[in-house]
């Protein structure tokens, strides 16, 4: 049933449906495409929790600039 050609065509049509289906498909399929893309986006974003560094990346530079302005030493 699925040979390489049919499988490749299926994948291409699936990507077009997910990526651009809401712009050219009729109303019921339009919403399905948008909901599918939104669900996939939420799934992928949920796999990577928000990451915040343990230290502020520019903290040392900001301290050096402040020390230069005030004429003091960098701590």
In a domain, 15, yes or no: yes
Domain count, the chain: 1
The residue segments making up the domain with residue 15 are 4-70
In a domain, 16, yes or no: yes
What b/e readout covers 11-29, taking b as 16+ CB neighbours within 10 angstroms?
Answer: eeeeeebbeebbeebeeee
In a domain, 75, yes or no: no
Summarised one tens digit per residue, pLDDT across range 12-71 is 999 999 999 989 989 999 999 999 999 999 999 889 888 777 778 788 888 889 889 888
Token reading at 74? 């960098």
What is the C-alpha to C-alpha distance for residues 55 and 38, in angstroms, rounded to an integer? 33
């Amino acid at each position: 049933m699925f040979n390489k050609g049919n499988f490749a065509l299926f994948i291409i049509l699936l990507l077009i449906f997910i990526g651009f289906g809401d712009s050219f498909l009729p109303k019921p399929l339009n919403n399905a495409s948008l909901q599918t893309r939104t669900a996939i986006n939420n799934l992928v974003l949920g796999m990577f929790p928000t990451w915040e560094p343990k230290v502020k990346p520019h903290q040392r530079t900001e301290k050096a600039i402040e020390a230069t302005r005030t004429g003091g030493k960098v701590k």
